[in-house]
């Protein structure tokens, strides 16, 4: 009888181990099935890399440089694919050992299975998606941030001043240099408009999500009845190249298409105001873009600054158009940079202390940290992650 019971117990144990092995195998297959689109996209990129490697020797010098650059960009993905392949092969070797008669071997196999499963899952859910996002062509650029007061009168001007401080503070925390290129005050002490130059690698890519209409809801200091006012500030984040005043035709425009006018500066500015023609206005005839600059003391400095702003605006148009042409629709950064779109609301009303980004539906109760600290980083990170997910989705769809 005891022999029969022991035999039955061994049978049950074997069945349990077999069931466990089947369950783990099914879990792995489900992981691969759920990540099938990502894996196909990665495999396609690896195939492209291998094709480039095979052709690398039979090219002209210029083509060779371009292909070498492509191969270098694909190298991290290739290394991750090798890691995935190795882990997958190891998992296949471990699966049979989960049903081994030796309990010690089964324990070791189970631990190894857990580690390998976590590695494979991380590749599909994190590593591959991140590497499928192509390097940003603007990742090295600095930026010009233009702020213009919208509805709300003096309250909008005060809110513009608050936002300007946010970006200057954030630039300092990132180790970037910031300087006010142009500003225009109103009687309330706020600013009607301002342009801040932020110089540092990655500044444009970090702040480009800020383009759009920012809305504030709060009780102005001058409001006696305690009524909440709604005011807006329009922000345009422009890519900034390091070039100054062009001496000939620029890659973004021809000098013959730019009308240059000089005039006497108006407003605050010192003894030179209304005495010398230091102010400069540029008009790019094909697009109608006009840039006026008078904050610097010399005509040459104002001219250099004006060309810098003109180039930034034209580069912004070019980047937007390139993305629109490639995707056949204005999405991702194009949508995020819509000049008329209300992108974020800062709500002081009734002590709510809430900031809401309408593009991704994200609300945080950290308004003071955004305005007085560096909590704006939370929104910038969330927007970047959302953009990367969209780009990854497009990359996957392109590989179908």
CATH code of the domain in which 188 resides: 3.30.70.1660
Separation between Cα atoms, residue 189 and residue 184, nearest integer Å: 10
Total of domains in the chain: 3
Q: Is 324 a member of any domain? A: no
User: Among the listed ranges 76-85, 272-281, 285-294, 330-339, which one has the minimum average pLDDT value?
Assistant: 330-339
Dihedral angle over CA of 42, 44, 45, 47, nearest 10 = 130
Q: Is the same domain home to 18 and 150?
A: no
Separation between Cα atoms, residue 224 and residue 228, nearest integer Å: 11
Q: Is 332 a member of any domain? A: no
Strands 354-357 and 362-364: antiparallel
Distances 331 to 136, 277, 387 between C-alpha atoms, Å: 16, 44, 9
Q: Is the same domain home to 195 and 213?
A: yes
Domain extent, residue 377, equals 142-242+340-398
| pLDDT over 90 percentage in the chain | 36
Query: Could you say which of 319, 352, 367 is where a domain stops?
Result: 319
* pLDDT (tens digit per residue) in 89-142: 998 898 888 888 888 998 998 899 999 989 998 998 888 888 888 778 888 899
Q: Bigger pLDDT: 275 or 191?
A: 191
Query: Residue 224 — φ and ψ, nearest 5°?
Result: -75, -35
Query: Could you say which of 110, 132, 154 is where a domain stops?
Result: 132
Query: Residue 386 — φ and ψ, nearest 5°?
Result: -65, -40
Q: Is the same domain home to 4 and 59?
A: yes
Q: Is the same domain home to 158 and 292?
A: no
Q: At what angle do helices 103-122 and 2-34 cross, to 10 degrees?
A: 10
Specify the pTM: 0.70
Q: Is the same domain home to 46 and 118?
A: yes
* 68 pLDDT higher than 90: no
Tokens of 255: 């000098």
Q: Is 120 a member of any domain? A: yes
Q: Is 333 a member of any domain? A: no
Q: Is the same domain home to 211 and 345?
A: yes
Q: Is the same domain home to 227 and 346?
A: yes
Q: Is 137 a member of any domain? A: no
* 146 pLDDT higher than 90: yes
The answer to whether the beta carbons of residues 389 and 396 sit under 8 Å apart is: no
Q: Bigger pLDDT: 340 or 109?
A: 109
pLDDT of residue 9: 44
The answer to whether the beta carbons of residues 213 and 149 sit under 8 Å apart is: no
Beta-bridge mates of residue 199: 177
Q: Is the same domain home to 4 and 126?
A: yes
The answer to whether the beta carbons of residues 148 and 231 sit under 8 Å apart is: no
Q: Is 335 a member of any domain? A: no
Q: Is 327 a member of any domain? A: no
Residues contacting residue 357 through CB under 8 Å, at least 6 positions apart: 343, 344, 363, 379, 382, 383
Q: Is the same domain home to 224 and 347?
A: yes
> Which CATH number characterizes residue 311's domain?
3.30.160.20
**Other beta carbons within 10 Å of 332:** 17
pLDDT of residue 354: 94
Q: Is 163 a member of any domain? A: yes
Three-class secondary structure of residue 183 per DSSP = strand
Separation between Cα atoms, residue 19 and residue 17, nearest integer Å: 5
Separation between Cα atoms, residue 38 and residue 120, nearest integer Å: 13
Average pLDDT over residues 329-348: 62
Residue with tokens 């002081």: 348
Query: Angle at CA 319, nearest 5°, toward 251 and 138?
Result: 85
Query: Angle at CA 181, nearest 5°, toward 176 and 183?
Result: 125
User: Among the listed ranges 2-11, 320-329, 336-345, which one has the minimum average pLDDT value?
Assistant: 2-11
Q: Is the same domain home to 294 and 230?
A: no
Q: Is the same domain home to 227 and 347?
A: yes
User: Which secondary-structure segment (H or E) carries 212?
Assistant: strand 212-218
* pLDDT (tens digit per residue) in 158-206: 999 999 999 999 999 999 999 998 888 887 788 999 999 999 999 999 9
Distances 367 to 74, 163, 351 between C-alpha atoms, Å: 40, 12, 10
Q: Is the same domain home to 174 and 213?
A: yes
């Amino acid at each position: 009888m005891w022999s029969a019971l022991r035999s039955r117990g061994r049978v049950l144990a074997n069945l349990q181990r077999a069931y466990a092995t089947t369950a783990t195998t099914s879990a792995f297959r489900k992981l691969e099935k759920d990540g099938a689109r990502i894996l196909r996209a990665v495999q396609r990129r690896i195939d492209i890399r291998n094709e480039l490697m095979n052709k690398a020797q039979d090219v002209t010098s210029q083509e060779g440089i371009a292909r070498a650059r492509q191969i270098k960009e694909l190298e991290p993905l290739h290394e991750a694919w090798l890691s995935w392949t190795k882990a997958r092969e190891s998992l296949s070797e471990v699966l049979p050992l989960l049903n081994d008669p030796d309990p010690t071997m089964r324990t070791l196999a189970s631990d190894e299975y857990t580690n390998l499963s976590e590695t494979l899952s991380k590749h599909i859910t994190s590593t591959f998606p991140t590497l499928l996002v192509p390097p940003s062509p603007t990742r090295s650029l600095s930026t010009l941030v233009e702020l213009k007061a919208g509805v709300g009168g003096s309250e909008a001007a005060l809110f513009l001043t608050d936002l300007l401080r946010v970006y200057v503070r954030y630039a300092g925390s990132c180790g970037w240099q910031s300087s006010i290129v142009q500003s225009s005050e109103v009687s309330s002490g706020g600013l009607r408009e301002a342009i801040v130059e932020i110089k540092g690698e990655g500044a444009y890519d970090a702040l480009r999500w800020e383009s759009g209409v920012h809305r504030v809801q709060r009780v102005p200091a001058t409001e006696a009845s305690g009524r909440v006012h709604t005011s807006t500030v329009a922000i345009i984040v422009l890519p900034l190249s390091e070039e100054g005043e062009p001496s000939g035709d620029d890659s973004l425009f021809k000098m013959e298409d730019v009308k240059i006018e000089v005039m006497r500066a108006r407003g605050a500015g010192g003894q030179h105001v209304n005495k010398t023609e230091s102010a400069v206005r540029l008009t790019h005839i094909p697009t109608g873009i006009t840039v006026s600059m008078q904050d610097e003391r010399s005509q040459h400095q104002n001219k250099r600054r004006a060309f810098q702003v003109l180039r930034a605006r034209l580069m912004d148009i070019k980047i937007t158009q390139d993305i629109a042409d490639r995707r056949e629709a204005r999405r991702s950064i194009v949508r995020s940079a819509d000049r008329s779109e209300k992108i974020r609301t800062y709500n002081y009303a009734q002590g709510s202390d809430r900031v809401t980004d309408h593009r991704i539906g994200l609300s945080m109760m950290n308004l003071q940290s955004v305005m007085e600290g560096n909590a704006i980083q939370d929104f910038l990170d969330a927007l970047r992650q959302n953009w990367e997910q969209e780009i990854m989705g497009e990359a996957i769809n392109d590989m179908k």
